[in-house]
Amino acid sequence: MKFRSPVLIIILLLFSFADSFSQIISIEKVNCRVSEGDLETIKKIAKFEKDLYNNLFNTHDNDSLLINVSILSTSDYKNMASKSRGLHKTWGFYSPSEDHSYVWKQPQYLGTVIHEMSHCLLRHNLNNPPRWLNEGIAEFCGSMVIDGDKVSYMPDAQSIRTVRNMVLEKPIDLNNFIELEQSNWSDREIRSNLYSISYAIVYFLIKKNPSLLKRTLLLMKDGNSATDAIDHSYGGFNKFENDFNAFYRSTLIKPI
């Protein structure tokens, strides 16, 4: 495939019963300034994320979900992250025990806010989501942008390029990837690739047919494993894996 436009409007079918209610969100600013424009952007995309999750899980429960976000100065964030193992090199994190997101106020912080809000929403819709799904949807949401009153989506060219290069070297074993242990995500040498593959799976399913992701999530919510859910929703896991590899093998993107 070839990207014909750098910005793609999200397929409206995915959000067929989106409503007009804003998401309930609490934003705490800790020793930093957040512009009114940024606050408005966060609120608009939070509503879009809420509508997305409502549709994916056939619910309206997210309308009343309170999302808590703290945006911290550099010193405050580093001080907090230094006390938690594995967080000192992150730009933000979501704490399930506190049901609260913490974000470092750096130049690209808006994408991080959106990413962490997705973790909150997924946790409230699916018990113990696998890491690849948690990060894949969050990475997808983190690439959304505001275009007037519309929420648009900028494909993550870096992740797509990474996965394409991997597939050109050899097909990705998605069954093995989906079954990776949590400990694999702590390996800094491969973590970036794991995020890219996670994003690529979600992007592929939505690009192929938005209802594929929805059916997969609903099956998982009913207790099916991710592998079985994809097998049933896609018409065979092997077909899914083969189509995924073929899709990225033929994807054309402009060089940096």
User: In which band, very low, low, confident or very high, does the pLDDT at 90 lie, cut at 50, 70 and 90?
Assistant: confident
- Which tens digits make up the pLDDT trace of 167-185? 999 999 999 999 998 889 9
Q: Which residue did the predictor score with more confidence, 9 or 192?
A: 192
User: In which band, very low, low, confident or very high, does the pLDDT at 87 lie, cut at 50, 70 and 90?
Assistant: low
Residue 3 lies in a domain: no
For 87, the domain range is 8-249
For the cut 50, the answer to whether the pLDDT of residue 238 exceeds it is yes
Other beta carbons within 10 Å of 208: 15
Residue 255 lies in a domain: no
Residue 55 lies in a domain: yes
- The pLDDT value given to residue 22: 56
For the cut 60, the answer to whether the pLDDT of residue 127 exceeds it is yes
For the cut 90, the answer to whether the pLDDT of residue 195 exceeds it is yes
CB 233 within 8 A of CB 219: yes
CB 195 within 8 A of CB 139: yes
Give CA separation, 211 vs 12, 20, 42, 254, in Å: 11, 22, 26, 29
Closest CA to 98 of 130, 120, 128: 120
- Quick one: average pLDDT of 161-168? 97
Number of domains within the chain: 1
Buried/exposed code over 141-150 (b: 16+ C-beta within 10 A; e: otherwise): bbbbebeeee
Residue 159 lies in a domain: yes
Task: Determine the residue type at 28.
Answer: E
User: In which band, very low, low, confident or very high, does the pLDDT at 214 lie, cut at 50, 70 and 90?
Assistant: very high
For the cut 70, the answer to whether the pLDDT of residue 62 exceeds it is yes
For the cut 60, the answer to whether the pLDDT of residue 149 exceeds it is yes
Residue 1 lies in a domain: no
Residue 2 lies in a domain: no
CA distance 184 to 191: 8
User: In which band, very low, low, confident or very high, does the pLDDT at 229 lie, cut at 50, 70 and 90?
Assistant: very high
- The pLDDT value given to residue 142: 86
CA distance 197 to 171: 12
Give Cα 97 distance to the centre of its chain. 20
Structure-token pair, residue 20: 């007009």
CB half-sphere exposure, 180, CA atoms < 13 A:
21
